[in-house]
Structure 1
Amino acid sequence: MGLQLAWNNEQQELPISDELIGTLEKLLEKAGQAEGVEDGEVALTFVDDKQIHELNKEYRGIDRPTDVLSFAMNEFTDEELDIVYDVEEDGELADLPEMLGDIIISVNRAKAQSEEYGHSLEREIGFLFVHGFLHLLGYDHQDKESEAEMMGKQEAVLAEVGLTR
């Protein structure tokens, strides 16, 4: 089955090209391989600063825009099933990919940061996407050690697809 990317564009600042989506799919595959995640679905939404500001305020209590938000779906209770089934045309049950979570990227922030750091917008969006993916898997950067670990993982995956600085 493999890792799958479902994406949505809710902003007007940047056209989202098939090439960019192809790059993000490669990044998802490489990041998944590096982390031993073979199956699952990631939902990616491109938004503007106003939308991500509202989400950041509502869900994190932070009243400003940010570059990326991640919402993991892997927090099951004992009553919930870890496996979701779908009925195929022949009546057989088929596994659906596990929904790993949602990643929301502000294209305004990505554009500003790509200019600030002196690299391509594609690299910045790729960086934010891998960063968000690692958050979905439980990584965080609350201290220097965890930040260094996360940064190293991100840079390694980006380098595999040629998105270096």
Structure 2
Amino acid sequence: RQVYGRDYDTDTITLAYSAPEDQAVSADMYISYDQIRDNAARYGEPYLRELHRVLIHSLLHALGFDDQTPETKQDMHRREDACLETVLKR
């Protein structure tokens, strides 16, 4: 609520400090393991799969992607799914 002015629980908050032209990524990522557990149960997903999805989501934000419009949200989900499948193949 203090960071984004929203009055609901979230699974992750990413504070990205890098500019798109920077060579390195700088960000703070805050992860709520309790919220991830709740989301996993709500969506019928294994906990570790949901944890990986949230970590990927946070990394995408750190890299400069956003999900503020329906189009960018759809793009984020597509990227999350692609990354998640790659990670889970290991």
Partner Cα distance (1:61, 1:143) in 2:
17
Number of residue pairs matched?
87
Identity across matched positions, percent:
29
Under a length normalisation based on structure 2, what TM-score does the superposition of the two structures give?
Answer: 0.83
Return closer, same or farther for 1:61/1:127 CA change in 2, 3 Å cut-off. Answer: same
User: Within 5 A, what are the aligned runs for 1:1-80?
Assistant: 57-75=1-19
Under a length normalisation based on structure 1, what TM-score does the superposition of the two structures give?
Answer: 0.48
Following superposition, the deviation at residue 66 of structure 1 comes to: 1.1
Query: What stretches of structure 1 move > 4 A for 4+ residues in a row?
Result: none
User: Within 5 A, what are the aligned runs for 1:1-165?
Assistant: 57-75=1-19, 98-162=24-88
Bigger fraction of residues in helix? 2
Partner Cα distance (1:144, 1:159) in 2:
23
Tell me, which stretches of 5 or more residues in structure 1 are unaligned? 1-56, 76-81, 84-97
Partner Cα distance (1:64, 1:141) in 2:
17
Following superposition, the deviation at residue 99 of structure 1 comes to: 4.7
Structure ID, larger Rg: 1
Summarize deviations over 1:108-152 as a string: whole Å, max 9, x none.
Answer: 110011011111111111111111111112211122221111111
- Across the aligned residues of Structure 1 and Structure 2, the Cα RMSD in angstroms comes to 1.9
